[in-house]
Amino acid sequence: MKKSICLVSILTLFFLLFIASVNVAKAQWSAIKESGPAKNAGYAVTTNWHGVDVPIGQTVVATAGTTDLSVTKIEFIWRDPSNRTIWVESLNVSKLTTPDVPPNVPDEVIKWG
């Protein structure tokens, strides 16, 4: 019985150390919040390979966010290490609309959605 408790404890410790060592890159979404004495730009961009060299053939997903509701077009530009433009894609951003909701739904829920 003591051996199994010890083994479970050791495996749990190794699992927790593994989870803690995984480097997860996240967008600095706090950069898009307009608060405090110095208003931030209101824009943030990150990728799933943020800060890491991308192996050849791997897919890169770029995610952008903004607090500027007047943005109507975005442009993603892929550049190689020598700063040559390899690929450009422009996308139109559709106007945000609130979906139809039942009349008894609080405004906080509608704004959150």
pLDDT at residue 111 tops 50: yes
42-89 confidence digits (pLDDT tens): 777 788 888 888 888 898 888 877 777 788 888 888 888 899 999 898
**Does residue 25 surpass a pLDDT of 80?**
no
pLDDT tier, 23 (very low <50, low <70, confident <90, very high otherwise): very low
Alpha-carbon distances, residue 17 vs 3, 4, 7, 25, 34 (angstroms): 21, 20, 15, 18, 36
**28 touches 44 (CB < 8 A):** yes
- Both tokens of 111, joined, read 């704004």
Partners of 84 in the β-ladder: none
Is pLDDT at 22 greater than 50 in this prediction? Answer: no
Q: How many Cα atoms within 13 Å fall on the side-chain side of residue 53?
A: 3
Predicted model pTM = 0.44
Q: Of the ranges 13-17, 19-23, 42-46, 65-69, which one carries the lowest mean pLDDT score?
A: 19-23
Q: What is the mean pLDDT of residues 21-41?
A: 52
H or E segment to which residue 107 belongs: helix 107-112
Q: Enumerate the domain spans of the chain.
A: 25-112
Q: How far apart are CA 78 and CA 103, in angstroms?
A: 45
For residue 89, which amino acid is it?
A: E
